[in-house]
Structure 1
Amino acid sequence: MDRLKILVSAYACSPYQGSEPGMGWGWIKEISRYHDLWVICEESESRIDVEAELEKNPQMRDRVKFFYIRIVRSRILGSYSLPSFYIYYKNWQKKVYKLACSLHEQIGFDLLHQLNMIGYREPGYLWKLPVPFVWGPVGGTADVPLRFASVLGPSQFLYHFARNTVNAWQLRYHNRVKAALNHADGFVTATSDEHNAFLRITGKDSVVISSTAIDTDENSSKPSGSYYETGNPLKLVYAGIHVSRKAIPIALRALALVPLKYRWHLDILGTGPMTSSWKHLATRLGINKNCTWHGWLPHRSDAVCIMERADALVFPSLQEGFPTVVLEALSKGLAVICFDHCGMADAVNNNCGIKIPVTTPKQAIQGFAEAVEQLAANPDELKRLSAGALKRAQEYSWQNRAGKMLNVYEKALSRRKTAS
């Protein structure tokens, strides 16, 4: 395929951050190897980091041109509280569309790509232009299973009940979501669960491509001497924001069930509104002496070092898209213990981790406890999963993901050409 002229809407884009900003940068960097990109980002989220990276790698300016629009927030409604953020975000998308129309008149784009934020609730307006349109990877349909109310607590149960209800309504009746789906020549979902939800509820088929990936050239091997040996503590790690849907109490209660003959230590990275209550729970369970609460570390390299020393990632999250931390763990040769749903169900297989069925809180806690005990009792199994993790990570390289997206582009162009 010849180099295309592609306009990308990427609200969050940064080479120095994780989550949505890192995902935006990863896609742009990789796709720009094959096509010329004009990228519209949110100014305060992206500009400083993007321009700093372009100073280091000026050759990217030949392939990518960045434009910045600042989101305008209300002091009365707050900055990021939901649903107020979507009010600001919708207005930002309107400005993106206005700029896109102007740029298209000057350049004549071959294709438009609505990249992020990945949540389906705000599809933007690029689909209104008479140009082949690709949307995704899209996420946001996953709900917290309400049968885990005892883990969430009363107030958080009510929050997730409300969110689940709104989510069900929006997916079925949001007019602009319907319009974007109808106009999408290429539609990409971030997980198999997302694919199934859109197909079941809207009838729209999609290609499943994980929303994020890893640079496998930077993460190619497990440091020597880091494997767990019988008699030493099993080194576990959790990384992520401390909010109710992450469900760390499941892991803590599970660890409290592990027989005393199996020694373990849990490094907990991150912080958030649930940190204090989770620390209190660890103390009540009598396991806090085996936990180190690191908070947010100032340098990403510090977090990477902790993960590299670990044997396994414990990730009991009840609601995710495609979690970057799971890919990072796999790339470091960590076995992963997680639920068998959301993006974890796609990323983790029997060769690199242990997936726990989403049944009841009691059964889930027992399942996580048995998984930890299995690894603690069997170093050879842990070594097998570690080798499998490194192999699995290779399948989620940016090069691999970009190849799949380029196929979506090609089919989108063909579909629009056939329709006209």
Structure 2
Amino acid sequence: MGWNFVKCLCRLHELHIITESKFKPDLNRYFKEHPEETPFYHFYFIEKKRHKKLRKVWPPSYYWFYKSWQKKALRLAQILDKQENFDVIHQLNMVGYREPGYLYEIGKPLVWGPMGGFNITPWLLLPSMGIYGALFYSFRNLINLYQMYFSKRVKKAIIQSKMVICATSDDTNTVQRLWGKKSIVIPEVGFIPTTQSTIIKRRINRLKICWSGLHIPRKSLNLLLEALAICPLKNEIELHIIGEGICTTKWKKLSEKLRLKDVYWYGWVARDKALQIMQDSHLFVITSLSDATSTVLLEALSLGLPIVTLNHLGFSNIVNNDCGIKIDIKSKQQVITDLAQAIGKLCQNEAERMRLAQGALKRSTDFTWEEKAVLINNIYQDITH
């Protein structure tokens, strides 16, 4: 994410980029292959300490080391500011609001974002995640609520920012409600357009659905499996599943228990293969309960795939009535029923599916990295004039 932002902005502005030293080999390799781009960047590297064993035991310990790294970034930025006299400071990564860094202490116009992560995983659907998932995301919700209301550094960074960029409209609402700060929505993900995609027309009575992601509780593939089980047209539907994880075995057993036919499990495949599976499909379904936005959503749109997704998080911002169907969240059974109805509708109505497919191609052009660079450039111009 960070690389694509700076890559698109580097020809518009003189960028001085502080990042982790672990990226240096990859960047050196890139500039060796693209020497013509070298003059557009000024990179500075700081090593971030890490404790892999501790992180396995207590994942949030990551933030302890990241906070230390951000303090080093502040000291380096202060030195560079004396030399360069920066016009704008941009706290770009990470997306999660919990670590705002310390660059607001420099005293120059600050842009923070895209940032987010204020979302509360729907309490009503926590039981659908299984015991581990329910406990983990219940605890995450409680921690999230505490940090939102009581983190002094988050409050200070938001108040002192000239512009806050949020990843979703829910995040902008939270920033306005808690701190009285207006913000702008720019999703944290984007894509690089390639050749124009060709929309795949269906063979009669067969609908190919694609689902892609980590097989972990919050991705909630089980909701789609249960929806297909009650769909009257389930024998006319294929489900193609990309990815794997700790829930793979559990979800395969659920698929067998529900007696679903034509379910294909690919595991992790090369990106080109994954895109080909998507390209050969007719519909893309997203069931995630806790994400900001996802790159795969934009990739699906760019391939002309209509989207069926839950109506929350960043998905509700990107998917509109011209490119997909959004499912409200009121209860688990309601979500499953509405998913089944939405899929059945598109299985029966090819004209409507084709309308949404054309809308998906058009909608994808709103989220290229070049479009994001234009929006960021406008923000820089506004806060410095």
User: What is the TM-score normalised by the length of structure 1?
Assistant: 0.88
- DSSP-derived class of the 2:181 partner: coil
- CA distance change for structure 1 residues 250 and 86 in 2, over 3 Å: closer, same or farther? same
Residue aligning to 2:10: 32
1:18-417, aligned counterparts within 5 Å? 23-44=1-22, 46-78=23-55, 81-216=58-193, 218-222=194-198, 226-231=200-205, 233-260=206-233, 262-287=235-260, 289-297=261-269, 299-414=270-385
- Measure, in 1, the Cα distance between the counterparts of 2:29 and 2:209: 35
Instruction: Report the residue type matching 2:198 in the other structure.
Output: K
Whether the 8 Å CA contact 2:126–2:137 is kept in 1: the answer is: no
- DSSP-derived class of the 1:334 partner: coil
- Measure, in 1, the Cα distance between the counterparts of 2:127 and 2:64: 33
- CA distance change for structure 1 residues 398 and 74 in 2, over 3 Å: closer, same or farther? closer
- Measure, in 2, the Cα distance between the counterparts of 1:170 and 1:181: 14
| 1:234 to partner: Cα distance | 1.0
Range moving further from structure 2, 141-150 or 383-392: 141-150
Whether the 8 Å CA contact 2:222–2:254 is kept in 1: the answer is: yes
**CA deviation digits over 1:258-291, x for unaligned, max 9?**
224751111111122222211111111111x422
| 1:153 to partner: Cα distance | 1.6
Superposition CA RMSD, Å = 1.6
| 1:79 to partner: Cα distance | 5.7
- Measure, in 1, the Cα distance between the counterparts of 2:226 and 2:236: 15
Whether the 8 Å CA contact 2:233–2:347 is kept in 1: the answer is: no
- Measure, in 1, the Cα distance between the counterparts of 2:65 and 2:266: 33
Whether the 8 Å CA contact 1:186–1:206 is kept in 2: the answer is: yes
- DSSP-derived class of the 1:342 partner: coil
- Measure, in 2, the Cα distance between the counterparts of 1:220 and 1:42: 36
- Measure, in 2, the Cα distance between the counterparts of 1:116 and 1:80: 25
Whether the 8 Å CA contact 1:230–1:376 is kept in 2: the answer is: no
- Measure, in 2, the Cα distance between the counterparts of 1:47 and 1:138: 24
- CA distance change for structure 1 residues 69 and 80 in 2, over 3 Å: closer, same or farther? farther
- CA distance change for structure 1 residues 394 and 260 in 2, over 3 Å: closer, same or farther? closer
Instruction: Report the residue type matching 1:227 in the other structure.
Output: K
Identity of aligned residues (%): 37
- DSSP-derived class of the 2:55 partner: coil
Instruction: Report the residue type matching 1:177 in the other structure.
Output: V
- DSSP-derived class of the 1:350 partner: coil
- Measure, in 2, the Cα distance between the counterparts of 1:75 and 1:237: 34
**CA deviation digits over 1:337-371, x for unaligned, max 9?**
00111111011111110110111100000111111
| 1:50 to partner: Cα distance | 2.3
Structure 2, unpaired ranges of 5+ = none
| 1:76 to partner: Cα distance | 4.7
- Measure, in 2, the Cα distance between the counterparts of 1:366 and 1:405: 41
- Measure, in 2, the Cα distance between the counterparts of 1:190 and 1:32: 22
- Measure, in 1, the Cα distance between the counterparts of 2:195 and 2:189: 15
- Measure, in 2, the Cα distance between the counterparts of 1:251 and 1:76: 35
- DSSP-derived class of the 2:320 partner: coil
Whether the 8 Å CA contact 2:209–2:240 is kept in 1: the answer is: yes
User: What is the TM-score normalised by the length of structure 2?
Assistant: 0.96
1:4-23, aligned counterparts within 5 Å? 23=1
Structure 1, unpaired ranges of 5+ = 1-22, 415-420
- DSSP-derived class of the 1:338 partner: strand
- CA distance change for structure 1 residues 79 and 36 in 2, over 3 Å: closer, same or farther? farther
| 1:411 to partner: Cα distance | 2.1
- Measure, in 1, the Cα distance between the counterparts of 2:308 and 2:364: 16
| 1:130 to partner: Cα distance | 2.2
| 1:43 to partner: Cα distance | 2.4
Instruction: Report the residue type matching 1:188 in the other structure.
Output: I
Instruction: Report the residue type matching 1:384 in the other structure.
Output: R
Whether the 8 Å CA contact 1:135–1:184 is kept in 2: the answer is: yes
| 1:75 to partner: Cα distance | 4.9
Range moving further from structure 2, 50-59 or 251-260: 50-59
| 1:69 to partner: Cα distance | 2.0
- DSSP-derived class of the 1:235 partner: strand
| 1:402 to partner: Cα distance | 1.4
- DSSP-derived class of the 1:110 partner: coil
- Measure, in 1, the Cα distance between the counterparts of 2:239 and 2:58: 31
- Measure, in 1, the Cα distance between the counterparts of 2:144 and 2:271: 33
Runs of 4 or more above 6 Å deviation: none
- Measure, in 2, the Cα distance between the counterparts of 1:262 and 1:219: 34
- Measure, in 2, the Cα distance between the counterparts of 1:344 and 1:162: 24
- Measure, in 2, the Cα distance between the counterparts of 1:173 and 1:261: 48
- DSSP-derived class of the 2:138 partner: helix
Instruction: Report the residue type matching 2:104 in the other structure.
Output: W
Q: Name the count of aligned residue pairs.
A: 385
Instruction: Report the residue type matching 1:221 in the other structure.
Output: S
